[in-house]
Amino acid sequence: MREIFKKGNPYIWLTASALTVCLLMICGVIVLIMMNGFGIFWPRKIVKITLHNGTVALGEIVKKEPIPYQKDSYRTKIKIGNRDVYGSDFTWIANADIVSLHFPIDAVVFERREWGNLYGFLKGFRQGETIKPLQHDTLMILLAESRGLYKKIRYIEKKEIGNINYLMEKYRLELKRLMMFPPTEKIRKKTVALNAKIDGLEKVYQEREILLNNLYKEAKEKEIVVLLADGQDKIVPIFQIIRVYAPNKMGFFSKLVFYLTKFWEFIWSEPREANTEGGIFPAIFGTVMMVIIMSIAVVPLGVLTAVYLKEYASDNMIARIVRISVSNLAGVPSIVFGIFGLGFFIYFVGGNVDKFFFPEALPAPTFGTGGILWASLTLALLTVPVVVVATEEALSSVPISLREGSYALGATKIETLWRVVIPQATPGILTGMILSMARASGEVAPLMITGVVKLAPSLPIDSHFPYIHLERKFMHLGFHIYDVGFQSPNVEAAIPMVYTTTLVLLITVLTLNLAAIVVRNKLKKWYSTRAI
């Protein structure tokens, strides 16, 4: 036995176990996120539970667990929905209290624009005091109608009134700027013209407002009556309903279709109910745009540094200092970059930009507050080392013979670099860029203080000149996770959403990382064959 320990085989097993633990951890985390993230849109059966004391609960079973401090007793967590009626989405039921449990075939889930899901049985269409029975198909037609109405309302609210507001704000700022000049005749004329424009817009706005009010009135007219589990009737305006489905009736394929629709909706629609429902499109959009702006800034800086280190610097003091700087940029905590972004980009650069270019809007800051540009630049500084390391690696894999060949043909150093070395190193540079994008899309701490918000009123790109609004605040997947998971008023109901958002972020980051690896391998081959 002693012999075995002396040879050290058990220790090898011990070190192997460390690696195994690492592998299990990483796989565990990925599986955990996948399971929780992919699962939430799958329609679950609606259960009707009758208790000893006669109360009835209708909803989805969320989980079962042992009751703490009690032997062999279990409880069930049920999502009963109907937050406007019961006050909370979830309830706990001790399994011992259950008398009967079955899955009523005609139980229906109403997905609403506000107050979360409603579970119940469809009773009929409300007409005055009477209730007219309603077929499922007719309900679908009504729903389609109300969806059309909703689209109309959204169009007016978002597009038309949004346009009016945007223009009005623009004219107002122009007026303010005109006031800063000495009042000449020309300026007076301009002022009058602007005022006239504003008045015109005001009129249009009022028209739209009336139209909108009428539409809302129309929307409220049609209502259905839902029978809740405890026997009370609940009147729901059809306009409030997004989707109606009866999961207990659904087969596998209709469930699959439902699931895919929901996932699609999650990715492409806007959040509702303080981000706890709806989609995450603005967050995805913000992340992508931020990452793109960042990579535009980071690649030149990173490549220049790497080229300098590999091709120009001899092993002197300056090169060593540059190397130390690069490794420090990689090691300085991201929150410090955030603080720097706040102090330098936002208050110093942004403040001065405001002073010189947007004085009319002051004291309201334009660039002097957090925005997508400042956030991207801050992250660019943070990810420079990633590009530097990848580019350096690529540059050193370019054979000396190629360079020497180029020099022998009379090319200068920059020509050799530009025509021979850089093309060879492109895969490396691309890899660095993709890796820096992966790093940036997961970083949250510096963004929290340089321009991310929980709910941005408008995307950084829209149809108004100059189309790309770099000063706007934006939403971000990572921050979305933090905000919904830790700062939303209804964390319990929001957790499934957070898992799915996490999944989206995880897939983004992993895809980017894999892409980096693939690009490195594929393009390397491609370029090496082309060079020959």
Partner 1 sequence: MKSLKRRRYADRAAHWVITLGGTATVLVILALFIFIFLEVYPLLQDARITKETTHSVHGKVISMGVDDHQEVAYIIYNNGVIEFISLKSGALLKKHHVSGLDGSVITSADKDHDRLVLATNDGKVFTISISFSESFAGDSRAVTPEVLEEKKVKASKLKAGILNVTSRGDDSTDVTAVYTNDGHLILIASETGKTPLDNEEKKEFQKDITGLFVAHSINQNTASVPYLLQTEGIERREKAKAGMQTADNSSGDLTEQRTGTEITSLALDLFMENLYIGTPSGDVFHIDVRDRENPYLVEKVKVSESAVTALGFLLGDVSLVVGDASGGVNVWMQVRDDRSSWGWALKKVHILRSHKAPVIAVAPSMRDKGFLTAATDGTIYLNHATSEQTLLRFKTGYTPVALAFSPKANGIFVADTNNRLFQWRIFNPHPEITVKTLFGRVWYEGYEKPEFVWQSTGGTDDFEPKLSLVPLIFGTIKGTLYTLVIAVPIGIFAALYTSQFLHNSLKIIKPVIEIMAALPSVILGFLAGLWLAPLMERMFPAIIIMPFFITLSIGIALVVWKYLPVIGKGWYRHGTEVLVLIPFIIGAIVVSIQLGGVFETNILRGDYREWFSRVLGLKYDQRNAVVVGIAMGFAVIPLIFTISEDAMSNVPKSLISASLALGATPWQTAVRVILPTASPGIFSAIMIGFGRAVGETMIVLMATGNTPIMEWNLFNGFRALSANIAVEIPEAPFGGTLYRVLFLASLLLFVTTFIVNTLAETVRRRMRLKYNKL
Positions 359 through 388 that interact with partner 1 (CB under 8 A): 381, 384, 388
Site string for partner 1, 187-206 (x = CB under 8 A): --------------------
Classify each residue of 151-175 as buried b or exposed e, where b means 16 or more C-beta atoms within 10 Å of its C-beta: eebeebeeebbbbbeebeeebebbb
Q: Using CA atoms, how far apart are residues 124 and 106, in angstroms rounded to an integer?
A: 13
Q: Does 309 bind partner 1 (CB under 8 A)?
A: yes
- Residue 110's DSSP bridge partners are 118, 244
Least distance in angstroms from the C-beta of 196 to partner 1: 27
Among positions 60-99, residues that touch partner 1 (CB under 8 A) are: 65, 68-69
Whether 284 and 267 have beta carbons less than 8 Å apart is answered as: yes
Query: Would you say 30 and 505 are in contact if contact means Cβ atoms under 8 Å apart?
Result: no
318 near partner 1, rule: CB under 8 A: yes
Query: Is 144 or 517 the residue whose CB approaches partner 1 more closely?
Result: 517
**Residue among 86, 263, 347, 407 that touches partner 1 (CB under 8 A):** 347
Please say which residue, 111 or 311, places its beta carbon nearer to partner 1: 311
Among 257, 267, 364, 510, binds partner 1 (CB under 8 A): 510
Structure tokens belonging to residue 24: 């299990």
DSSP-assigned letters across all residues of 301-354: HHHHHHHIIIII--SSHHHHHHHHHHHHHHHS-HHHHHHHIIIIIIIIIIHHHH
How many angstroms separate the CA atoms of 262 and 39, rounded?
Answer: 11
- Which of 47, 342, 421, 456 binds partner 1 (CB under 8 A)? It is 342
179 binds partner 1 (CB under 8 A): no
355 binding partner 1? (CB under 8 A): no
Among 193, 517, 518, 531, binds partner 1 (CB under 8 A): 517
Residues between 261 and 290 with contacts to partner 1, criterion CB under 8 A = none
**CA–CA gap between residue 483 and residue 455 (Å, rounded):** 10
Using the contact rule CB under 8 A, the part of the chain among 26-34, 78-86, 222-230, 521-529 near partner 1 is 26-34
Rounded to 10°, the helix 9-39/491-531 angle is: 110
Is 87 or 331 the residue whose CB approaches partner 1 more closely? 331
Distance, CA of 479 to CA of 475 (rounded, Å): 7
Query: CA nearest 379: which of 309, 476, 459?
Result: 476
Told to check if 340 binds partner 1 by CB under 8 A, we report yes
Q: Choose, by CB under 8 A, the member of 229, 246, 394, 445 that binds partner 1.
A: 445
State yes or no: residue 323 binds partner 1 (CB under 8 A). yes
Q: Which is nearer to partner 1, 140 or 321 (CB)?
A: 321
Q: Which of 10, 148, 183, 399 binds partner 1 (CB under 8 A)?
A: 10
Residue 62 to residues 23, 93, 169, Cα–Cα distance (Å): 30, 11, 48
What the block records as the tokens of 248 is 């207990």
Distance CA 366, CA 357 (A): 9
Please give the distance of CA 232 from its chain centroid, rounded to a whole number: 39
Q: Does 518 bind partner 1 (CB under 8 A)?
A: no
Distance of CA 302 to the CA centre of its chain: 27
Q: Which residues pair with 61 in a beta bridge?
A: 78
Segment near partner 1 (CB under 8 A); pick from 8-16, 73-81, 162-170, 182-190: 8-16
With a CB cutoff of 8 Å and minimum separation 6, the contacts of 159 are none
Taking contact as CB under 8 A, which single stretch among the options 120-128, 218-226, 271-279, 494-502 is the one that binds partner 1?
Answer: 494-502
Binding pattern for the stretch 129-168 against partner 1, x by CB under 8 A and - elsewhere: ----------------------------------------
Q: From the list 24, 31, 179, 531, which residue makes contact with partner 1 (rule: CB under 8 A)?
A: 24
Q: Is residue 441 at the binding interface for partner 1, with CB under 8 A as the rule? A: yes
State yes or no: residue 337 binds partner 1 (CB under 8 A). Answer: yes
Residues 311, 360, 393, 462: which binds partner 1 (CB under 8 A)?
311
330 binds partner 1 (CB under 8 A): yes
DSSP state of 44: P
Q: Which is nearer to partner 1, 33 or 167 (CB)?
A: 33
